[in-house]
Protein backbone atom coordinates (compact mmCIF):
# COMPACT_ATOMS: atom_id res chain seq x y z
CA UNK A 1 0.00 0.00 0.00
CA UNK A 2 1.32 3.44 -0.92
CA UNK A 3 1.63 6.08 1.79
CA UNK A 4 1.61 9.86 1.42
CA UNK A 5 5.41 9.94 1.55
CA UNK A 6 5.58 7.46 -1.34
CA UNK A 7 3.17 9.53 -3.43
CA UNK A 8 5.17 12.67 -2.75
CA UNK A 9 8.38 10.88 -3.71
CA UNK A 10 6.89 9.46 -6.92
CA UNK A 11 5.61 12.88 -7.97
CA UNK A 12 8.99 14.48 -7.22
CA UNK A 13 10.78 11.80 -9.24
CA UNK A 14 8.54 12.35 -12.25
CA UNK A 15 9.14 16.08 -12.21
CA UNK A 16 12.88 15.79 -11.81
CA UNK A 17 13.29 13.17 -14.50
CA UNK A 18 11.37 15.39 -16.94
CA UNK A 19 13.53 18.36 -15.95
CA UNK A 20 16.70 16.30 -16.43
CA UNK A 21 15.45 15.05 -19.81
CA UNK A 22 14.78 18.60 -20.96
CA UNK A 23 18.27 19.65 -19.87
CA UNK A 24 19.83 16.69 -21.65
CA UNK A 25 18.20 17.53 -24.97
CA UNK A 26 20.40 20.63 -24.95
CA UNK A 27 23.44 19.16 -23.20
CA UNK A 28 23.73 16.26 -25.65
CA UNK A 29 24.95 18.67 -28.36
CA UNK A 30 27.73 20.20 -26.22
CA UNK A 31 31.28 19.92 -27.54
CA UNK A 32 34.07 18.00 -25.80
CA UNK A 33 35.54 21.28 -24.62
CA UNK A 34 32.24 22.44 -23.10
CA UNK A 35 31.66 19.10 -21.38
CA UNK A 36 35.19 19.02 -19.96
CA UNK A 37 34.84 22.55 -18.57
CA UNK A 38 31.61 21.56 -16.80
CA UNK A 39 33.18 18.40 -15.34
CA UNK A 40 36.19 20.36 -14.08
CA UNK A 41 33.98 23.00 -12.46
CA UNK A 42 31.85 20.40 -10.68
CA UNK A 43 34.93 18.50 -9.53
CA UNK A 44 36.53 21.68 -8.17
CA UNK A 45 33.40 22.42 -6.13
CA UNK A 46 33.42 18.87 -4.75
CA UNK A 47 37.09 19.18 -3.76
CA UNK A 48 36.49 22.46 -2.01
CA UNK A 49 33.74 20.94 0.14
CA UNK A 50 35.00 17.34 0.50
CA UNK A 51 35.93 17.68 4.17
CA UNK A 52 32.59 19.21 5.14
CA UNK A 53 30.64 16.65 3.12
CA UNK A 54 32.54 13.82 4.82
CA UNK A 55 31.62 15.21 8.22
CA UNK A 56 27.97 15.55 7.17
CA UNK A 57 27.91 11.91 6.00
CA UNK A 58 29.23 10.59 9.32
CA UNK A 59 26.94 12.85 11.33
CA UNK A 60 23.83 11.76 9.42
CA UNK A 61 24.49 8.03 8.91
CA UNK A 62 26.68 7.16 11.89
CA UNK A 63 28.84 5.02 9.59
CA UNK A 64 32.60 5.27 9.19
CA UNK A 65 34.84 8.20 10.07
CA UNK A 66 35.26 11.65 8.54
CA UNK A 67 38.97 11.34 7.72
CA UNK A 68 38.51 8.27 5.54
CA UNK A 69 35.28 9.55 4.00
CA UNK A 70 37.24 12.67 3.05
CA UNK A 71 39.77 10.40 1.29
CA UNK A 72 36.94 8.70 -0.61
CA UNK A 73 35.46 12.06 -1.57
CA UNK A 74 38.85 13.11 -2.91
CA UNK A 75 39.15 9.89 -4.89
CA UNK A 76 36.00 10.95 -6.73
CA UNK A 77 36.70 14.69 -6.83
CA UNK A 78 40.44 14.71 -7.62
CA UNK A 79 41.82 11.36 -8.79
CA UNK A 80 38.83 10.55 -11.01
CA UNK A 81 38.88 13.90 -12.90
CA UNK A 82 42.63 13.57 -13.40
CA UNK A 83 42.10 10.16 -14.97
CA UNK A 84 39.28 11.46 -17.21
CA UNK A 85 41.26 14.39 -18.60
CA UNK A 86 41.96 13.85 -22.27
CA UNK A 87 39.41 11.03 -22.52
CA UNK A 88 37.24 11.60 -25.61
CA UNK A 89 33.54 11.09 -24.97
CA UNK A 90 31.99 13.44 -27.56
CA UNK A 91 31.95 13.44 -31.35
CA UNK A 92 34.32 11.16 -33.23
CA UNK A 93 36.18 8.87 -30.85
CA UNK A 94 38.47 7.15 -33.36
CA UNK A 95 38.91 6.15 -37.01
CA UNK A 96 40.56 2.92 -38.09
CA UNK A 97 40.47 0.58 -41.11
CA UNK A 98 37.45 2.17 -42.71
CA UNK A 99 35.39 2.38 -39.50
CA UNK A 100 34.56 5.70 -37.80
CA UNK A 101 33.26 5.59 -34.21
CA UNK A 102 30.99 8.31 -32.83
CA UNK A 103 30.03 8.79 -29.17
CA UNK A 104 26.31 8.93 -28.39
CA UNK A 105 25.24 9.81 -24.80
CA UNK A 106 22.48 7.60 -23.41
CA UNK A 107 20.29 10.29 -21.82
CA UNK A 108 19.11 10.41 -18.20
CA UNK A 109 21.09 8.33 -15.69
CA UNK A 110 19.24 7.09 -12.59
CA UNK A 111 21.82 6.95 -9.79
CA UNK A 112 20.90 4.99 -6.65
CA UNK A 113 23.14 5.95 -3.70
CA UNK A 114 24.15 3.87 -0.65
CA UNK A 115 24.17 4.85 2.99
CA UNK A 116 27.77 3.66 3.54
CA UNK A 117 29.41 5.95 0.95
CA UNK A 118 26.75 8.56 0.20
CA UNK A 119 28.78 11.64 -0.73
CA UNK A 120 31.71 10.03 -2.55
CA UNK A 121 29.33 7.92 -4.65
CA UNK A 122 27.25 11.00 -5.50
CA UNK A 123 30.37 12.85 -6.69
CA UNK A 124 31.63 9.88 -8.67
CA UNK A 125 28.36 9.06 -10.43
CA UNK A 126 27.67 12.69 -11.26
CA UNK A 127 31.09 13.33 -12.78
CA UNK A 128 31.15 10.20 -14.96
CA UNK A 129 27.60 10.94 -16.14
CA UNK A 130 28.45 14.53 -17.05
CA UNK A 131 31.65 13.41 -18.79
CA UNK A 132 29.64 11.02 -20.98
CA UNK A 133 27.26 13.82 -21.99
CA UNK A 134 24.32 12.70 -19.84
CA UNK A 135 21.98 14.23 -17.29
CA UNK A 136 21.63 12.51 -13.91
CA UNK A 137 18.95 12.11 -11.24
CA UNK A 138 20.32 10.97 -7.87
CA UNK A 139 18.19 8.97 -5.43
CA UNK A 140 19.75 9.01 -1.93
CA UNK A 141 19.40 6.30 0.67
CA UNK A 142 16.61 7.42 3.06
CA UNK A 143 19.13 7.52 5.94
CA UNK A 144 21.56 9.70 3.96
CA UNK A 145 19.28 12.21 2.23
CA UNK A 146 20.69 15.40 3.68
CA UNK A 147 24.37 14.80 2.90
CA UNK A 148 23.60 13.32 -0.54
CA UNK A 149 21.33 16.20 -1.55
CA UNK A 150 23.85 18.75 -0.27
CA UNK A 151 26.51 17.12 -2.42
CA UNK A 152 24.21 17.11 -5.45
CA UNK A 153 23.30 20.77 -4.95
CA UNK A 154 26.97 21.80 -4.93
CA UNK A 155 27.67 19.82 -8.09
CA UNK A 156 24.56 21.14 -9.85
CA UNK A 157 25.34 24.76 -9.02
CA UNK A 158 28.95 24.49 -10.21
CA UNK A 159 27.92 22.68 -13.40
CA UNK A 160 25.29 25.31 -14.25
CA UNK A 161 27.70 28.16 -13.59
CA UNK A 162 30.06 26.50 -16.06
CA UNK A 163 27.34 26.39 -18.71
CA UNK A 164 25.35 23.19 -18.09
CA UNK A 165 21.60 23.55 -18.72
CA UNK A 166 19.57 23.88 -15.49
CA UNK A 167 18.37 20.45 -14.42
CA UNK A 168 21.36 18.49 -15.72
CA UNK A 169 22.03 17.35 -12.14
CA UNK A 170 18.96 16.58 -10.02
CA UNK A 171 18.50 14.92 -6.62
CA UNK A 172 15.36 13.42 -5.06
CA UNK A 173 14.92 15.05 -1.68
CA UNK A 174 12.02 12.81 -0.59
CA UNK A 175 13.46 9.47 -1.64
CA UNK A 176 11.54 6.33 -0.69
CA UNK A 177 11.63 2.76 -1.93
CA UNK A 178 8.57 3.41 -4.11
CA UNK A 179 10.03 6.66 -5.42
CA UNK A 180 13.29 4.94 -6.30
CA UNK A 181 11.31 2.27 -8.14
CA UNK A 182 9.54 4.96 -10.14
CA UNK A 183 12.90 6.51 -11.04
CA UNK A 184 14.25 3.19 -12.30
CA UNK A 185 11.13 2.43 -14.37
CA UNK A 186 10.48 5.92 -15.73
CA UNK A 187 10.19 6.03 -19.55
CA UNK A 188 12.77 8.85 -19.70
CA UNK A 189 15.35 6.91 -17.67
CA UNK A 190 18.03 5.51 -19.98
CA UNK A 191 20.32 3.56 -17.65
CA UNK A 192 20.59 2.79 -13.93
CA UNK A 193 23.69 3.03 -11.75
CA UNK A 194 22.73 1.13 -8.60
CA UNK A 195 24.79 0.90 -5.42
CA UNK A 196 23.40 -0.65 -2.26
CA UNK A 197 22.16 -3.93 -0.89
CA UNK A 198 21.22 -6.97 -2.95
CA UNK A 199 17.54 -5.95 -2.94
CA UNK A 200 18.03 -2.60 -4.66
CA UNK A 201 20.54 -4.07 -7.12
CA UNK A 202 18.06 -6.85 -7.99
CA UNK A 203 15.34 -4.24 -8.46
CA UNK A 204 17.57 -2.35 -10.87
CA UNK A 205 18.23 -5.44 -12.96
CA UNK A 206 14.52 -6.35 -13.09
CA UNK A 207 13.33 -2.82 -13.93
CA UNK A 208 13.42 -3.40 -17.67
CA UNK A 209 16.19 -0.81 -18.10
CA UNK A 210 19.92 -1.31 -18.72
CA UNK A 211 21.61 -1.32 -15.32
CA UNK A 212 25.03 -1.38 -13.73
CA UNK A 213 24.81 -2.88 -10.28
CA UNK A 214 27.35 -4.51 -8.03
CA UNK A 215 27.44 -7.72 -6.07
CA UNK A 216 28.45 -8.10 -2.43
CA UNK A 217 32.10 -8.36 -1.51
CA UNK A 218 33.62 -11.04 0.69
CA UNK A 219 37.30 -10.39 0.15
CA UNK A 220 39.98 -12.98 0.93
CA UNK A 221 43.60 -11.83 1.22
CA UNK A 222 46.40 -14.35 0.99
CA UNK A 223 49.70 -13.73 2.77
CA UNK A 224 52.14 -15.91 0.85
CA UNK A 225 55.27 -17.49 2.30
CA UNK A 226 57.30 -15.21 0.01
CA UNK A 227 55.70 -12.05 1.45
CA UNK A 228 57.23 -9.46 3.73
CA UNK A 229 54.89 -10.44 6.56
CA UNK A 230 55.25 -7.25 8.60
CA UNK A 231 54.50 -5.05 5.56
CA UNK A 232 51.64 -7.28 4.42
CA UNK A 233 49.91 -7.29 7.81
CA UNK A 234 50.32 -3.54 8.24
CA UNK A 235 48.63 -2.97 4.87
CA UNK A 236 45.84 -5.42 5.67
CA UNK A 237 45.11 -3.64 8.95
CA UNK A 238 45.18 -0.31 7.08
CA UNK A 239 42.69 -1.61 4.53
CA UNK A 240 40.40 -3.35 7.00
CA UNK A 241 40.16 -0.30 9.26
CA UNK A 242 39.66 2.17 6.36
CA UNK A 243 36.39 3.99 7.06
CA UNK A 244 35.69 1.24 9.62
CA UNK A 245 35.27 -1.40 6.92
CA UNK A 246 32.37 0.18 5.01
CA UNK A 247 33.79 -0.50 1.54
CA UNK A 248 32.69 -3.81 0.01
CA UNK A 249 36.24 -4.40 -1.22
CA UNK A 250 37.79 -4.32 2.26
CA UNK A 251 39.66 -7.40 3.48
CA UNK A 252 37.41 -9.94 5.24
CA UNK A 253 39.53 -13.06 5.81
CA UNK A 254 43.32 -13.30 5.98
CA UNK A 255 44.49 -16.71 4.70
CA UNK A 256 48.05 -18.00 5.21
CA UNK A 257 50.07 -21.15 5.64
CA UNK A 258 50.28 -22.36 9.22
CA UNK A 259 54.05 -21.88 9.26
CA UNK A 260 53.42 -18.10 9.13
CA UNK A 261 50.93 -18.04 12.00
CA UNK A 262 53.28 -16.82 14.75
CA UNK A 263 54.81 -14.13 12.54
CA UNK A 264 51.36 -12.91 11.45
CA UNK A 265 50.00 -12.78 15.01
CA UNK A 266 53.08 -10.86 16.11
CA UNK A 267 52.68 -8.41 13.22
CA UNK A 268 49.00 -7.92 14.05
CA UNK A 269 49.89 -7.08 17.66
CA UNK A 270 52.53 -4.63 16.41
CA UNK A 271 49.82 -2.94 14.32
CA UNK A 272 47.66 -2.67 17.50
CA UNK A 273 45.08 -5.19 16.26
CA UNK A 274 43.32 -6.98 19.10
CA UNK A 275 43.54 -10.79 18.98
CA UNK A 276 40.28 -12.21 20.29
CA UNK A 277 40.16 -15.42 22.31
CA UNK A 278 37.59 -18.17 21.73
CA UNK A 279 34.96 -16.65 24.02
CA UNK A 280 35.34 -13.17 22.51
CA UNK A 281 35.17 -14.65 19.01
CA UNK A 282 31.90 -16.40 19.85
CA UNK A 283 30.52 -13.16 21.32
CA UNK A 284 31.46 -11.25 18.17
CA UNK A 285 29.74 -13.85 16.01
CA UNK A 286 26.52 -13.42 17.98
CA UNK A 287 26.82 -9.63 17.90
CA UNK A 288 27.75 -9.15 14.23
CA UNK A 289 26.04 -11.79 12.16
CA UNK A 290 22.31 -11.79 11.58
CA UNK A 291 19.96 -13.74 9.35
CA UNK A 292 21.30 -15.13 6.06
CA UNK A 293 24.84 -14.38 7.26
CA UNK A 294 24.40 -10.61 6.83
CA UNK A 295 25.91 -8.14 9.27
CA UNK A 296 23.47 -6.53 11.66
CA UNK A 297 22.85 -2.90 10.62
CA UNK A 298 23.85 -1.46 14.01
CA UNK A 299 27.35 -2.92 13.56
CA UNK A 300 28.05 -1.57 10.05
CA UNK A 301 30.92 0.92 9.90
CA UNK A 302 31.46 1.14 13.66
CA UNK A 303 34.89 1.45 15.30
CA UNK A 304 36.54 -1.66 16.71
CA UNK A 305 36.31 -0.34 20.27
CA UNK A 306 32.54 0.13 20.00
CA UNK A 307 31.96 -3.28 18.41
CA UNK A 308 33.97 -4.98 21.16
CA UNK A 309 31.89 -3.19 23.76
CA UNK A 310 28.67 -4.26 21.99
CA UNK A 311 29.98 -7.85 22.21
CA UNK A 312 30.65 -7.50 25.94
CA UNK A 313 34.40 -6.98 26.24
CA UNK A 314 36.86 -4.10 26.35
CA UNK A 315 39.83 -3.36 24.09
CA UNK A 316 42.40 -0.52 24.10
CA UNK A 317 41.08 2.78 22.78
CA UNK A 318 43.50 2.86 19.82
CA UNK A 319 42.55 -0.60 18.51
CA UNK A 320 42.01 -0.39 14.71
CA UNK A 321 40.92 -3.99 14.07
CA UNK A 322 39.53 -6.99 15.94
CA UNK A 323 41.16 -10.22 14.69
CA UNK A 324 39.35 -13.55 15.11
CA UNK A 325 40.76 -16.96 14.22
CA UNK A 326 38.22 -19.25 12.51
CA UNK A 327 38.26 -22.97 11.85
CA UNK A 328 36.81 -23.05 8.34
CA UNK A 329 34.94 -21.30 5.55
CA UNK A 330 31.21 -21.38 4.86
CA UNK A 331 27.84 -21.60 6.58
CA UNK A 332 29.19 -23.40 9.65
CA UNK A 333 31.65 -20.55 10.19
CA UNK A 334 29.59 -17.31 10.05
CA UNK A 335 32.60 -15.04 10.62
CA UNK A 336 33.94 -16.13 7.23
CA UNK A 337 31.20 -13.96 5.66
CA UNK A 338 31.38 -10.25 4.76
CA UNK A 339 31.42 -8.17 7.95
CA UNK A 340 31.37 -4.47 6.81
CA UNK A 341 33.23 -3.54 9.98
CA UNK A 342 36.82 -3.61 11.28
CA UNK A 343 36.60 -7.31 12.19
CA UNK A 344 39.18 -9.46 10.40
CA UNK A 345 39.00 -13.26 10.28
CA UNK A 346 42.19 -15.36 10.25
CA UNK A 347 42.37 -18.80 8.65
CA UNK A 348 45.56 -20.88 8.61
CA UNK A 349 46.15 -23.86 6.30
CA UNK A 350 48.93 -26.33 5.55
CA UNK A 351 50.05 -25.36 2.04
CA UNK A 352 49.86 -22.83 -0.77
CA UNK A 353 47.45 -25.13 -2.59
CA UNK A 354 45.17 -25.22 0.45
CA UNK A 355 45.41 -21.44 0.70
CA UNK A 356 44.17 -21.11 -2.88
CA UNK A 357 41.27 -23.42 -2.06
CA UNK A 358 40.38 -21.37 1.03
CA UNK A 359 40.47 -18.03 -0.79
CA UNK A 360 38.23 -19.38 -3.53
CA UNK A 361 35.84 -20.72 -0.87
CA UNK A 362 35.64 -17.26 0.76
CA UNK A 363 34.71 -15.70 -2.59
CA UNK A 364 32.08 -18.37 -3.21
CA UNK A 365 30.62 -17.66 0.24
CA UNK A 366 29.16 -14.30 -0.79
CA UNK A 367 31.84 -12.48 -2.79
CA UNK A 368 31.90 -13.96 -6.30
CA UNK A 369 33.36 -11.66 -8.93
CA UNK A 370 34.23 -8.78 -6.61
CA UNK A 371 37.76 -8.43 -5.20
CA UNK A 372 40.55 -10.45 -3.64
CA UNK A 373 44.09 -9.66 -2.51
CA UNK A 374 47.50 -11.23 -2.20
CA UNK A 375 50.77 -10.20 -0.58
CA UNK A 376 53.82 -11.92 -2.09
CA UNK A 377 57.23 -11.26 -3.59
CA UNK A 378 57.02 -14.32 -5.86
CA UNK A 379 55.34 -12.97 -9.00
CA UNK A 380 54.66 -16.46 -10.31
CA UNK A 381 52.50 -17.11 -7.24
CA UNK A 382 50.76 -13.76 -7.63
CA UNK A 383 49.83 -14.66 -11.20
CA UNK A 384 48.76 -18.18 -10.28
CA UNK A 385 46.51 -16.72 -7.59
CA UNK A 386 45.07 -14.15 -10.00
CA UNK A 387 44.33 -16.78 -12.65
CA UNK A 388 42.62 -19.06 -10.11
CA UNK A 389 40.40 -16.64 -8.19
CA UNK A 390 36.79 -16.03 -9.33
CA UNK A 391 37.14 -12.28 -8.77
CA UNK A 392 37.65 -9.47 -11.30
CA UNK A 393 39.87 -7.24 -9.16
CA UNK A 394 42.98 -9.00 -7.86
CA UNK A 395 44.97 -6.55 -5.74
CA UNK A 396 48.63 -7.31 -5.07
CA UNK A 397 50.73 -5.85 -2.22
CA UNK A 398 48.37 -3.00 -1.31
CA UNK A 399 45.24 -2.58 0.84
CA UNK A 400 42.32 -4.06 -1.11
CA UNK A 401 39.77 -1.23 -0.62
CA UNK A 402 42.28 1.35 -1.81
CA UNK A 403 43.67 -0.80 -4.60
CA UNK A 404 40.31 -1.86 -6.00
CA UNK A 405 38.98 1.70 -6.23
CA UNK A 406 42.11 3.19 -7.77
CA UNK A 407 43.51 5.04 -4.75
CA UNK A 408 46.76 3.03 -4.72
CA UNK A 409 46.67 1.27 -8.13
CA UNK A 410 46.13 2.27 -11.75
CA UNK A 411 42.69 0.68 -12.17
CA UNK A 412 40.01 3.19 -13.18
CA UNK A 413 39.00 5.26 -10.11
CA UNK A 414 35.49 4.14 -9.25
CA UNK A 415 32.92 3.61 -6.54
CA UNK A 416 30.90 1.14 -8.65
CA UNK A 417 32.83 -2.10 -9.05
CA UNK A 418 31.20 -4.58 -11.40
CA UNK A 419 31.33 -8.27 -10.49
CA UNK A 420 30.59 -9.77 -13.91
CA UNK A 421 28.21 -12.47 -15.07
CA UNK A 422 29.32 -14.84 -12.29
CA UNK A 423 27.57 -12.48 -9.84
CA UNK A 424 24.69 -11.53 -12.12
CA UNK A 425 26.24 -8.17 -13.06
CA UNK A 426 26.35 -6.68 -16.56
CA UNK A 427 30.04 -5.77 -16.35
CA UNK A 428 33.17 -6.82 -14.50
CA UNK A 429 34.75 -3.36 -14.90
CA UNK A 430 35.22 -0.42 -12.63
CA UNK A 431 32.40 1.62 -14.17
CA UNK A 432 33.59 4.64 -16.17
CA UNK A 433 32.07 7.26 -18.51
CA UNK A 434 32.55 4.83 -21.40
CA UNK A 435 29.89 2.58 -19.86
CA UNK A 436 27.40 5.48 -20.02
CA UNK A 437 27.54 6.16 -23.74
CA UNK A 438 26.78 4.20 -26.88
CA UNK A 439 29.11 4.00 -29.86
CA UNK A 440 27.80 4.54 -33.37
CA UNK A 441 29.94 3.09 -36.18
CA UNK A 442 30.21 4.36 -39.73
CA UNK A 443 31.61 1.52 -41.85
CA UNK A 444 32.80 2.18 -45.43
CA UNK A 445 32.42 -0.55 -48.02
CA UNK A 446 35.57 -2.37 -49.11
CA UNK A 447 36.26 -3.83 -52.59
CA UNK A 448 35.91 -7.59 -52.98
CA UNK A 449 38.47 -9.06 -55.39
CA UNK A 450 37.39 -11.69 -57.93
CA UNK A 451 38.32 -15.24 -57.07
CA UNK A 452 41.50 -16.45 -58.74
CA UNK A 453 40.75 -18.78 -61.66
CA UNK A 454 42.24 -22.26 -61.56
CA UNK A 455 44.81 -22.86 -64.34
CA UNK A 456 44.35 -26.51 -65.42
CA UNK A 457 47.71 -26.73 -67.21
CA UNK A 458 49.54 -25.58 -64.05
CA UNK A 459 47.82 -28.28 -62.00
CA UNK A 460 48.72 -30.98 -64.54
CA UNK A 461 52.34 -29.83 -64.62
CA UNK A 462 52.56 -29.83 -60.80
CA UNK A 463 51.12 -33.35 -60.57
CA UNK A 464 53.49 -34.68 -63.26
CA UNK A 465 56.47 -33.12 -61.47
CA UNK A 466 55.40 -34.71 -58.18
CA UNK A 467 55.07 -38.14 -59.85
CA UNK A 468 58.37 -37.81 -61.69
CA UNK A 469 60.21 -37.06 -58.42
CA UNK A 470 58.94 -40.42 -57.17
CA UNK A 471 59.86 -42.35 -60.34
CA UNK A 472 56.33 -42.62 -61.72
CA UNK A 473 56.05 -41.92 -65.45
CA UNK A 474 52.94 -40.03 -66.55
CA UNK A 475 50.43 -42.12 -68.44
CA UNK A 476 50.55 -41.72 -72.22
CA UNK A 477 47.02 -41.10 -73.34
CA UNK A 478 44.95 -38.78 -75.37
CA UNK A 479 44.14 -36.98 -72.15
CA UNK A 480 47.75 -35.79 -71.99
CA UNK A 481 47.39 -33.88 -75.22
CA UNK A 482 46.38 -30.27 -74.84
CA UNK A 483 42.66 -29.77 -75.22
CA UNK A 484 41.64 -27.74 -78.24
CA UNK A 485 40.71 -24.15 -77.47
CA UNK A 486 37.05 -23.65 -78.30
CA UNK A 487 35.98 -20.79 -80.52
CA UNK A 488 34.46 -17.93 -78.54
CA UNK A 489 30.70 -17.58 -78.76
CA UNK A 490 29.84 -14.08 -79.87
CA UNK A 491 26.71 -12.63 -78.30
CA UNK A 492 24.03 -11.02 -80.46
CA UNK A 493 22.67 -8.77 -77.69
CA UNK A 494 24.04 -7.72 -74.28
CA UNK A 495 22.03 -5.92 -71.58
CA UNK A 496 23.01 -4.72 -68.08
CA UNK A 497 21.67 -7.89 -66.46
CA UNK A 498 23.87 -10.05 -68.74
CA UNK A 499 26.91 -8.06 -67.60
CA UNK A 500 26.07 -8.33 -63.91
CA UNK A 501 25.69 -12.13 -64.16
CA UNK A 502 29.02 -12.36 -65.97
CA UNK A 503 30.74 -10.28 -63.31
CA UNK A 504 29.22 -12.50 -60.61
CA UNK A 505 30.45 -15.67 -62.39
CA UNK A 506 33.89 -14.19 -63.18
CA UNK A 507 33.57 -14.73 -66.94
CA UNK A 508 33.86 -12.67 -70.12
CA UNK A 509 31.25 -11.77 -72.74
CA UNK A 510 32.49 -11.88 -76.33
CA UNK A 511 31.05 -9.29 -78.73
CA UNK A 512 31.53 -8.67 -82.42
CA UNK A 513 30.86 -5.79 -84.87
CA UNK A 514 27.18 -6.74 -85.12
CA UNK A 515 26.56 -7.26 -81.36
CA UNK A 516 24.01 -4.86 -79.86
CA UNK A 517 25.21 -3.61 -76.41
CA UNK A 518 22.99 -1.35 -74.31
CA UNK A 519 24.62 1.82 -72.86
CA UNK A 520 23.96 0.67 -69.27
CA UNK A 521 25.66 -2.64 -70.06
CA UNK A 522 28.77 -0.83 -71.33
CA UNK A 523 28.85 1.40 -68.22
CA UNK A 524 28.52 -1.58 -65.87
CA UNK A 525 31.12 -3.66 -67.72
CA UNK A 526 33.71 -0.88 -68.02
CA UNK A 527 35.48 -1.13 -64.62
CA UNK A 528 35.55 -4.94 -64.84
CA UNK A 529 36.72 -5.43 -68.49
CA UNK A 530 33.87 -7.87 -68.92
CA UNK A 531 33.31 -7.18 -72.67
CA UNK A 532 35.88 -8.69 -75.05
CA UNK A 533 35.77 -7.57 -78.70
CA UNK A 534 36.39 -10.36 -81.27
CA UNK A 535 37.35 -9.18 -84.75
CA UNK A 536 36.49 -11.46 -87.68
CA dist list (Å): 162 to 35, 117, 124, 159: 9, 27, 18, 5
In a domain, 449, yes or no: no
271 and 334: one domain?
A: yes
382 and 466: one domain?
A: no
233 and 288: one domain?
A: yes
pLDDT of residue 481: 54
335 and 472: one domain?
A: no
Q: How many residues does the chain have?
A: 536
Query: How many CB atoms lie under 10 A from the CB of residue 89?
Result: 23
Find how far residue 400's CA is from the centre of its chain.
17
Mean pLDDT of 257-269: 98
Please tell me the total count of domains within the chain.
Answer: 3
167 and 55: one domain?
A: yes
Give burial (CB, 10 Å; 0-12/13-18/19+) of 109: buried
Within the chain, how many helices (H) and strands (E) appear? 18, 18
Q: What is the pLDDT of residues 477-535, one digit of tens each?
A: 444 555 566 678 888 888 888 888 888 888 899 888 878 888 777 878 888 888 888 87
17 and 155: one domain?
A: yes
301 and 326: one domain?
A: yes
Annotated catalytic residue within 147, 149, 171, 248? 248
> Residue 47: which domain range?
4-213+434-443
Mean pLDDT of 309-325: 98
179 and 223: one domain?
A: no
In a domain, 426, yes or no: no
DSSP characters for 218-244?
-EEEEE-TTS-HHHHHHHHHHHHHGGG
For residue 339, pLDDT beyond 60: yes
Model pTM?
A: 0.82
In a domain, 358, yes or no: yes
pLDDT of residue 536: 59
Of 85-89, 322-326, 470-474, the one with minimum mean pLDDT is 470-474
Q: What does the alpha-carbon distance between residue 374 and residue 394 come to, in Å, rounded to a whole number?
A: 8
Q: What does the alpha-carbon distance between residue 268 and residue 275 come to, in Å, rounded to a whole number?
A: 8
pLDDT of residue 485: 61
In a domain, 96, yes or no: yes
255 and 175: one domain?
A: no
144 and 238: one domain?
A: no
Q: Which CATH number fits the domain that encloses residue 45?
A: 3.40.605.10
Q: What is the pLDDT of residues 114-133, one digit of tens each?
A: 999 999 999 999 999 999 99
Q: What confidence tier does 453 reach under pLDDT thresholds 50, 70, 90?
A: low
In a domain, 428, yes or no: no
In a domain, 427, yes or no: no
pLDDT of residue 195: 86
276 is a catalytic site residue: no
383 and 409: one domain?
A: yes
- Residue 440's closest CA among 179, 195, 81, 92? 92
Q: What does the alpha-carbon distance between residue 178 and residue 195 come to, in Å, rounded to a whole number?
A: 16
For residue 452, pLDDT beyond 90: no
64 and 147: one domain?
A: yes
Amino acid sequence: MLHDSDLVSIQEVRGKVERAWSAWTAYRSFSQEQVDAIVEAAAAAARAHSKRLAELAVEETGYGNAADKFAKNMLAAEILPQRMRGLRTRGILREDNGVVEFAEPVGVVAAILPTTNPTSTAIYKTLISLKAGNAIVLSPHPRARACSCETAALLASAAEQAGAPPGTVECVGNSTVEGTGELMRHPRTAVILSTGGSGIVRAAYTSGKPAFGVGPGNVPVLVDSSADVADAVAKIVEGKSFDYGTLCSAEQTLVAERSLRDAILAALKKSRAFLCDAAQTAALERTLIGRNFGIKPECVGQPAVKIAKMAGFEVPGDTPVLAVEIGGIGREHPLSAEKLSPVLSLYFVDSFSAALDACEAVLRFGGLGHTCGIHARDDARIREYAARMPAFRVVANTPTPKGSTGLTTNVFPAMTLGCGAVAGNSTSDNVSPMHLLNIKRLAYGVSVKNETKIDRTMIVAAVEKYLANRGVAPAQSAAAAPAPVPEPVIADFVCEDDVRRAIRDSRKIFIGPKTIVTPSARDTAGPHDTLVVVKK
